[in-house]
Amino acid sequence: MALIYQGTKISPGLGMGQARVVEKLRLEPPAERPRDPEQELLRFRQCYDAAEEDLRKTVQEAQEKLGGHEAEILDAQLTLLQDEYAVLEPIQEAIRDEGLNMAQAIDKVLGGIVELFQQAADEYMRLRAGDAEDVRKRLLMRALGVTPRDYSVLPAGTILVAEELTPSDTIRMDLAHVSGIVTSRGGYYSHVGIISRNLGIPSVCGVPEAAEDGDTVLVDGEKGVVTVNPDEAELALFSERRREAEAEKQQLDVFRTVPSRTLDGEAGLICGNIGTAAEAQAALDAGAEGIGLLRSEFLYMDQPALPDEETQFQAYRQVLETMGGRPVIIRTLDVGGDKAIPALPMEREENPFLGCRAIRLCLERRELFRVQLRALLRAGSYGDLKIMFPMISTLGELRSAKAMLEEARKELLREGVPVRKVPVGIMVEVPAAAVIADCLAREADFFSIGTNDLIQYTMAAERGNPSVDHLYSPYDPAVLRLIAMTAGAAERAGILCGMCGEAAADPELLPIFWGMGVRELSMSPGAIIRSRAVLANWRAEDCRSLAEQVLLCGSRQEVQDILARTNGQQNARQV
């Protein structure tokens, strides 16, 4: 009988094939103490040097073979491994002073670092525990002389089943032949989440020990369901869904390269949201006409020290060069609140989402902000850069942030660094900003509506809190009215209004947003072509009339009723 597991979807699509269980390495340190600690120290140094050399080569290989994300993560691991203060010295001390054998010492020190990461309040930081774990494994394998199994050649249609996959694992794997991934650990932002989305491999996590080698496995990355050894009927149904999805994908593929337009030719942009510099290429391949949101947090999140100006400049430049003259909106640092960065200790707050977050933090920690602004301005010479400030609630904040940008510009000019004038926009994600959008529009070059936060602040319903989920919806008239106010103010002031929250990718809401005047929609790259196809089916005039009707609604139900009626008519027109 088939076994069906509900997990967490981390990469969309439908995968089907034969399970290959990735072995769990036994890395137990032996109990005996070394007789001669000095001798053990020497052995450790040899093992450490070999592991470092090995990781260095792997970073290089990742840069050549895969680029981007893998190389960045492995590079961060190399930095951790080379950390004298946190890694090297404590291990040597444990061997010298406590008489531990090298495997025990490695396990103790790196195990401690893993635990520290695991206890972090922020989900992203917790996921970085995987990187520290990877470094621990790498050193222990050397110390214990364990060689991992070879996955460099896999049969087509392999479904990888693993506890977790780290960058060191995936770099050695034949991912081109992998049709699906099922892990027990990991999450949306974990390595396996990022790599599987980048490579378009359907993946589900949160399913422990789902299958054995050779089992037939169906991975439903749309619903987060994993089916092991399905019966004939389940198999046939899944195959049919795969065929339909494939046909739809092929049909939609023409929308990868055509410009974004309504049926009657009103033009706009459909862009990609990215979370690391390396994802720019995937967005471009998915049909992005630009980057509507680069969340710059990735540079700060898993680093022991704040990224310096040069590191940031190189990352921004990489995105701009990849996008080759297409618009790129880089959002300045949005941390604080629930997102902590290790290099910047922050005070605990009772209500972090209402606390010192994003632009509020940057205006307080001026040096932190100054470094980022300088890096951005320098990168501005390499493409069509636009800078965006997050969480603006007052005109004063916008003016202060712009003044700091101007100071940074003058500073660079005095140093003889060429800088171009860069358009400056804001995220409209706090209701206060939507309410004074007319005033902000006089001083901002563009808006981008952040629906993820706008909904939570409008409805006073925390994003991701299941107990208030019923309130958190982009279909709520209060949210829709704020979006209309923002887009209307932008239109009257003659500036571009975009949207980069999750709602931008909702095909039902797209015509409403268009009708309100939103002309740039930015979303996960995987949603781009479908959205472009939806837009191509709507006449601009119908979008405006739909928006008008929706703005008269007093409840979410009324909005949904109107949409159900309109979609019926729209579908009838297409037939």
**Interface with ligand PEP by CB under 6 A: which range of 82-90, 174-182, 191-199, 448-456?**
448-456
Q: Least distance to ligand PEP from the beta carbon of 476, Å?
A: 15
Should residue 429 be labelled a site residue for Mg ion when binding is judged by CB under 5 A?
yes
Q: Give the interface size with ligand PEP as a residue count (CB under 6 A).
A: 10
500 an active-site residue?
yes
CB of 390 to Mg ion, least distance (A): 6
Q: Which is nearer to ligand PEP, 329 or 546 (CB)?
A: 329
Give the span between the Cα atoms of 512 and 390, in whole angstroms.
Answer: 24
Positions 91 through 130 that interact with Mg ion (CB under 5 A) = none
Does residue 291 interact with ligand PEP by CB under 6 A? no
CA distance 511 to 539: 9
Q: Is 429 in the site for ligand PEP (CB under 6 A)?
A: yes
Strands (E) located in 392-523? 424-428, 446-449, 496-499, 520-523
Report the C-alpha gap between 358 and 452 in whole angstroms: 14
Whole-angstrom Cα distance, residue 520 to residue 451? 14
Contact 415, 469 (CB under 8 A): no
User: Which value, to the nearest 10 degrees, does the dihedral of the CA atoms of residues 433, 438, 444, 448 take?
Assistant: 50
When the beta carbons of 287 and 501 are compared against Mg ion, the nearer one is 501
| Region of 81-89, 187-195, 445-453, 505-513 interacting with ligand PEP (CB under 6 A) | 445-453
Does the protein bind ligand PEP through residue 450 (CB under 6 A)? yes
Pair 91, 106: CB distance under 8 Å: yes
Active-site residue (options: 47, 497, 500, 553)? 500
Q: Give yes or no: 191 in active site.
A: yes
Q: Which does 177 bind (CB under 5 to 8 A by kind): Mg ion, ligand PEP, none?
A: none
Pairing state of beta strands 8-11 and 14-21? unpaired
In the bound state with ligand PEP, the residue whose beta carbon lies nearer, of 9 and 339, is 339
Show the binding pattern over residues 64-93: x = contacts Mg ion (CB under 5 A), - = does not: ------------------------------
Task: Give 285's contacts (C-beta < 8 A, 6+ positions apart).
Answer: 525
Check binding of 450 to Mg ion (CB under 5 A): yes
Contact 425, 446 (CB under 8 A): yes
Q: Which of 191, 271, 497, 543 is catalytic?
A: 191
216-220: strand order across its sheet: 3-6, 225-228, 216-220, 14-21, 158-162, 178-183, 203-205, 8-11
Does 268 participate in binding ligand PEP (rule CB under 6 A)? no
Q: Output 379 or 483, the one with its CB closest to ligand PEP.
A: 483
- Picked from ligand PEP, Mg ion, none, the partner binding residue 295 (CB below 5 to 8 A depending on kind) is ligand PEP
CB burial string 472-501: b at 16+ within 10 A, e below: bbbbbbebbbbbbbbbbbbbebebbbbbbb
Told to check if 451 binds ligand PEP by CB under 6 A, we report: yes
Q: Contact between 453 and ligand PEP (CB under 6 A)?
A: yes
Our CB check for Mg ion shows the closer of 270 and 392 to be: 392
The C-alpha torsion from 450 through 456 and 457 to 461, rounded to 10°, is 180
Q: How far is the CB of 99 from Mg ion (least distance, A)?
A: 51
Q: Please report whether residue 297 would count as binding Mg ion according to CB under 5 A.
A: no
- What is the residue whose two structure tokens read 């005109």? 395
Count of other CB atoms within 10 angstroms of residue 264 = 10
Residue type, position 505, single letter: A
Interface of this chain with ligand PEP, residues 482 to 541, rule: CB under 6 A: 500-501
**Residues recognised as catalytic:** 191, 500
Q: Which residues bind Mg ion (CB under 5 A)?
A: 429, 450, 453
Q: Which residues bind ligand PEP (CB under 6 A)?
A: 293, 295, 334, 429, 450-453, 500-501
